[in-house]
Amino acid sequence: KKGGEALVVTGDVTKKEDFEKVVSKTKREYGKITGLVNNAGLMPLSFVEKLKTDEWDKMVDVNIKGVLNGVAAVLPALKENKGGNIINISSMAANRYFPGGAVYCATKSAVKMFSEGLRQELAPKYGINITSIEPGAVATNLTSTITDEDIKDKMKEMQKMETLEAEDIANSIYYVLTQPARVNINDVYLVPSEQQ
């Protein structure tokens, strides 16, 4: 409606070759790449003692390796540009544990710390700004991956509060991207007003 355009390229963030396809098609269509928002994530919460190790593996593959794959795919282009932005969507779970979230919280802590390492390595040398966005509860289908019935019961109470909306996260991304190149927003930590 506002005159923007989008290029849709399907892919699996856990596959390096899919990210490379996204980069090559984007460069072919627009000439260059100026940034990346790593947003893919899974949250099949469960208590550790239930040993849902297949779910742990999927979370590590998407939540951590997917971020690594995205950065590896765009970094050469951003270095060539001598600037740009990498925005990694972490979670408030990077900052505190919640029941059933041991593995999920660990993956989001990894994203937060990886973002800080990237910032220290890339911002001074290449002018590439790095941000970790850490939202609380957002109205998404993220909880649909939960298979642990005990966790589903605990989530019912939280689902009564007014959560953040996707546009709130989009607004925080917009804020980061509209800063002058000299400004690196390290972390954006936003939670619903009702969330404790």
Residue carrying the six token digits 């001598």: 82
Q: How far apart are CA 100 and CA 23, in angstroms?
A: 36
Residue 103's identity, in one-letter code, is: V
Q: Can you read off the two tokens belonging to residue 94?
A: 């990077």
Residue carrying the six token digits 């590896």: 72
Q: How far apart are CA 155 and CA 163, in angstroms?
A: 13
- Known catalytic membership, residue 30: no
**Selected catalytic residue, list 97, 104, 126, 189:** 104
Q: What angle do CA 47, 51, 55 make, to 5 degrees?
A: 85
Query: How crowded is residue 24: how many other Cβ atoms within 10 Å of its Cβ?
Result: 12
The answer to whether 68 and 169 have CB atoms below 8 angstroms apart is no
Backbone angles phi, psi at 125, to 5 degrees: -85, -40
Distance of CA 46 to the CA centre of its chain: 21
The answer to whether 116 and 129 have CB atoms below 8 angstroms apart is no
Q: Can you read off the two tokens belonging to residue 67?
A: 């971020």
Would you please indicate which residues are annotated as catalytic (active-site) residues? 104
